Structure 1
Amino acid sequence: MLNWLLALFDSKEKHPDMKKFLIVGLGNIGDKYKNTRHNIGFKILDHFAKSEDLIFEDNKLGATTMYRLKGRSFILLKPSTYMNLSGKSVKYWLQKENISLENLLVITDDLNLPFGSIRLKTKGSDGGHNGLKDLQDKLQTTKYNRFRFGISDDFSKGRQVDYVLGEWTNEEESKLIERLDTSVEVIKSFGLAGMSNTMNEFNGK
């Protein structure tokens, strides 16, 4: 009997919980970054939390909260490592919560997409994004789900950093609410319907 129980425990340790999902919003901590384009990952998760009356708590390497829906558990994570070291936080929480890599969704800004557009992918390069670059390094793979939110490339030559770390314009702010609502639906669909169905439903919207 004891051996059977030990084997069962060992099996649970080795095999990730397929109904648990890690949703990571990339961004930088601190008030000066709060409303910047680079922090859209944080902004989407904050909107999710507000819409579902969730409260983030400061934990090791990030602020987290949990949302449950139809037998699924969504752990929302805002890394506290700053953008360029995001991989450290993600790797820690994947291991801590015993979550499969296929149940990871990383939300990031993308200069190559029009403002507010959504592009979901199951793999790809870092595209010059430092947060994704560190994720690839720490996870040792480019095969992880990412949710790219378009911030457009409406900046003059040599002003990319200022643009990315700049705040949303009033016009962008007025259009963001609807896009944030859609982003919340993307996250829920990822857990309930899977990545493939979610891509079919939301890519290009």
Structure 2
Amino acid sequence: MRVVVGLGNPGAQYALTRHNVGWLVVDEVARRAGATWRKDRDAEVTEVRLGTEKVLLVKPQTFMNSSGRAVAPLMTFYKLDGAHLLVVQDDLDSPFGLMKFRLGGRHGGQNGVRDIITRLGTDAFPRLKLGISRPPTGWDPAGWVLSKWRDEERTTVDELVRLGANAVEAWATLGLLEAQARFNGTDLRPKPEPAPAAPVDPA
């Protein structure tokens, strides 16, 4: 058994905000598997089969800052350690469109990860970090993460979610090292136009 937690906030008003990109990824994994969500304590959960692995997908219903309240009891119930847990999170410190796996380390200001670390008593679990970038000038970070994606960002968001679901499936079936090798180079930022070639001197 493995557990994949998508971080986000419950409620329709948060569905398309930057903070909920982790939910979008686990929703996509569930959609591909034809799975149905059900309530279990402080979370919505569903079980899917990825390759030979049974995977519990989790969407905490506690609001972001108390995510660990939903995650810790599930880890205790299934008697799992951090190696069997993947947290899918938004990441302010990564540019929008960048995706990477990371094993352990500090929470980096992500309050859902902070609470999971506190309640599990360890930071030794992998995270799939989806870049949403730092806020533009004049934006408070709390307001930025709760802002909705702009129309012009939707194509990149959809591709980030699709690749995020692929990355979750790779982690569950192939392990963290192979998933890192395959997906840590993911960068959906627009590539700069090549500089025009210098004119050839006919002389």
TM-score by length of 2: 0.87
Q: Secondary structure at the match of 2:59?
A: strand
1: CA distance, partners of 2:50 / 2:12: 31
Question: 1:29: which partner in 2?
Answer: 10
The answer on 1:48 being equivalent to 2:29 is yes
1: CA distance, partners of 2:153 / 2:34: 25
Question: 1:109: which partner in 2?
Answer: 90
Question: 1:194: which partner in 2?
Answer: 175
Structure 1 stretches of 4+ moved >6 Å: none
The answer on 1:80 being equivalent to 2:41 is no
1: CA distance, partners of 2:167 / 2:139: 33
Gapped runs of 5+ residues in structure 2? 187-203
Greater helix proportion? 1
The answer on 1:165 being equivalent to 2:153 is no
Question: 2:199: which partner in 1?
Answer: none
Gapped runs of 5+ residues in structure 1? 1-19
1: CA distance, partners of 2:53 / 2:33: 15
Deviation at 1:158, TM superposition (A): 4.6
How do residues 1-205 of structure 1 correspond to structure 2 at under 5 angstroms? Answer: 20-205=1-186
Q: Is the 8 A contact 2:52 2:173 kept in 1?
A: no
2: CA distance, partners of 1:27 / 1:169: 18
Deviation at 1:78, TM superposition (A): 0.2
Could you give the per-residue CA deviations for residues 47-100 of structure 1, whole angstroms, max 9, x where no partner exists? 222222211111211000111133210100001111111112111111122223
Alpha carbon RMSD of aligned pairs, Å?
1.2
Cα distance change of structure 1 residues 171 and 55 upon mapping to structure 2, 3 Å threshold: same
TM-score by length of 1: 0.86
Deviation at 1:104, TM superposition (A): 0.3
Equivalences, count: 186
Q: Secondary structure at the match of 2:29?
A: helix
